[in-house]
Chain A
């Protein structure tokens, strides 16, 4: 095999390995981030809805 080809194949192996390793880590940790993002958004929705209810009560 041509030595230039071997060098490119080594570079390819490193590139592909780093792609898949980062992908696995990000897939696992990203799920936790996604849960936090959605939970925080739900909390914000509730806290935004609360003052409106309080206003309604006081106006009654």
Chain B
């Protein structure tokens, strides 16, 4: 066991403090907008902290370090694409600015304003399924991280992970976005310290020239050039760039932070300044993965290599700080995701199936129940699902299930007057098609005919989802302009 008494003291003190603060913040929730978007009163620096904390979980560090281990420096291109994608959204206000102005709380709310209640229902179902599936592997990777860093067996880990999830569910259910924002800020500070400790510890133990030799020796040109690396190439670069713009503007857990901002201008600034951290968010864990390659050689488990390295090189005392930082990263991500997906299933699916909306108290009550149920699902799903190839691919393809269709619906809905509900249905369904085929067919790719096997290439499937969604929106709208005239949204109200 690598964890000492002082590490335990730091970790337990941190967990107790987080629960206390999360529960204390509950007193500020006075109504639905307080619960869902913190009353839309979040200022710039706090917005950046909470957005960045949401986007960095232990899972983020794990999948990026796994990529660093299996592809060398060439995966660093993903950090640059993340920076550019979020910067475009922040600089132009693409989607987030008009959505904030319309004062919606979830993305599917916009579907009802611009298209119809049924489009909102379909969009809500796809968003919920894509989102929860995407989140399904988080616990598994957190488990791997903790077991390698702390030196535990898997039995104790299941207990720790369950405890952590219960803590997050507790304060998210009770305090909603207020608790999420307050704890996110705290967690951002702690996770930054944790990441800093990790980088310094690795730099002190692994020589840069050894890292260079390991990458070039193991992967050759593919280790430094993403265009010749078989995992990446042009198709991957285009897909990930579009994905970053779509995820930046439409991924509910992140976008909800823009919707919680004090004003549309602040929302833009939050995205712009947070984008400047996105290259580091990807490259820091990737570098740790590359360092693990140099330290252990190529025969280690790619997912376990980075945490194993940190468990060895981080001094006692600092290890507790590092684990607290990583737990902070996970908790901030879980809380934001739990709140986002439970809000969507309550407001955009269940409420849409009824003739009248729920009142505010009932909405908050049902949201809390679903936050608990999603947590339970995460525990069960995380134990049995086997991830295809790398976690990065799984996360982006499950994300594309929703973001591809949503990008077509929301971008066209905001910026193209001829977009109608037929186009929206086509965009949502076609956007989800290629990722769903990938998830269903990926495990039996050897037995498939060539025309179907193309969907098991994650890069093809990912890019195709955006192309099909765009084509669905365009053709669906153009061909049905007379039978289904588009309606406009002016100042948050429908103009038939």
Number of interface residues of B (CB under 8 A): 48
Q: How far is the CB of B400 from chain A (nearest CB, A)?
A: 25
**If A1-B212, A4-B225, A12-B76 touch, does A26 touch B49 (CB 8 Å cutoff)?**
yes
Contact in complex: B73, A4 (CB < 8 Å): yes
How far is B283's CA from A14's CA once the two chains are assembled, in angstroms?
10
Contact in complex: A2, B216 (CB < 8 Å): yes
Judge if B41 is at the interface, Cβ distance under 8 Å.
yes
The residue among A4, A14, A15, A48 with the most chain B CB atoms within 10 A of its own CB is A15
CB-defined A-B contacts under 8 Å, sample of 25: A4-B225, A5-B73, A5-B212, A8-B224, A11-B283, A12-B287, A16-B280, A17-B280, A18-B276, A19-B195, A19-B277, A20-B280, A22-B276, A25-B45, A26-B49, A29-B45, A31-B185, A33-B42, A33-B44, A34-B46, A37-B46, A37-B181, A41-B34, A41-B39, A44-B39
Contact in complex: B39, A26 (CB < 8 Å): no
Residues of B within 8 A of A17 (CB): 280
The residue among B46, B189, B224, B284 with the most chain A CB atoms within 10 A of its own CB is B46
**If A19-B277, A30-B45, A33-B46 touch, does A5 touch B215 (CB 8 Å cutoff)?**
yes
Residues of A within 8 A of B73 (CB): 4-5, 8
Contact in complex: B283, A9 (CB < 8 Å): no
Contact in complex: B224, A4 (CB < 8 Å): yes
Contact in complex: A16, B224 (CB < 8 Å): no
Residues of B within 8 A of A14 (CB): 279
How far is B200's CA from A55's CA once the two chains are assembled, in angstroms?
62
The residue among B39, B185, B209, B211 with the most chain A CB atoms within 10 A of its own CB is B185
How far is B181's CA from A34's CA once the two chains are assembled, in angstroms?
9
Mask for B163-174, Cβ within 8 A of A = 1, else 0?
A: 000000000000
Q: How far is the CB of B331 from chain A (nearest CB, A)?
A: 17
Would you list the 5 A-B pairs with minimal beta carbon distance, nearest first? Answer: A19-B280, A33-B46, A29-B45, A15-B279, A4-B224
Judge if A60 is at the interface, Cβ distance under 8 Å.
no
Residues of B within 8 A of A54 (CB): none
Closest-by-CB residue of A relative to B208 is A9
List B residues at the A interface (Cβ < 8 Å).
28, 30, 34, 38-39, 41-49, 52, 73, 76, 79-80, 83, 178, 181-182, 185, 188-189, 192, 195-196, 199, 208-209, 211-212, 215-216, 224-225, 273, 276-277, 279-284, 287
Residues of B within 8 A of A33 (CB): 42-47
Contact in complex: B43, A37 (CB < 8 Å): yes
Residues of A within 8 A of B182 (CB): 34, 38
How far is B31's CA from A44's CA once the two chains are assembled, in angstroms?
12
How far is B212's CA from A60's CA once the two chains are assembled, in angstroms?
81
Contact in complex: A45, B185 (CB < 8 Å): no
Contact in complex: B43, A38 (CB < 8 Å): no
Contact in complex: B46, A22 (CB < 8 Å): no
Residues of A within 8 A of B192 (CB): 20, 23-24, 27
Contact in complex: B212, A15 (CB < 8 Å): no
List A residues at the B interface (Cβ < 8 Å).
1-2, 4-5, 8-9, 11-12, 14-20, 22-34, 36-38, 40-42, 44-45, 48
Q: How far is the CB of B35 from chain A (nearest CB, A)?
A: 12
Contact in complex: A34, B185 (CB < 8 Å): yes
How far is B44's CA from A16's CA once the two chains are assembled, in angstroms?
21
Residues of B within 8 A of A31 (CB): 185
Residues of B within 8 A of A23 (CB): 52, 188-189, 192, 277
Q: Which of A8, A12, A41 contacts B28 (CB 8 A)?
A: A41
Q: How far is the CB of B185 from chain A (nearest CB, A)?
A: 5
How far is B211's CA from A24's CA once the two chains are assembled, in angstroms?
28
Residues of A within 8 A of B49 (CB): 26-27, 30
Contact in complex: A19, B284 (CB < 8 Å): yes
Residues of B within 8 A of A48 (CB): 30
Q: How far is the CB of A6 from chain B (nearest CB, A)?
A: 8
Closest-by-CB residue of B relative to A3 is B224
How far is B170's CA from A31's CA once the two chains are assembled, in angstroms?
24
Contact in complex: B281, A19 (CB < 8 Å): yes
How far is B280's CA from A20's CA once the two chains are assembled, in angstroms?
8
How far is B185's CA from A14's CA once the two chains are assembled, in angstroms?
24
How far is B188's CA from A45's CA once the two chains are assembled, in angstroms?
28
Contact in complex: B43, A8 (CB < 8 Å): no
Contact in complex: A22, B277 (CB < 8 Å): yes
Contact in complex: A27, B39 (CB < 8 Å): no
How far is B30's CA from A40's CA once the two chains are assembled, in angstroms?
13
Q: Which of A9, A15, A30 contacts B46 (CB 8 A)?
A: A30
Contact in complex: B284, A16 (CB < 8 Å): yes
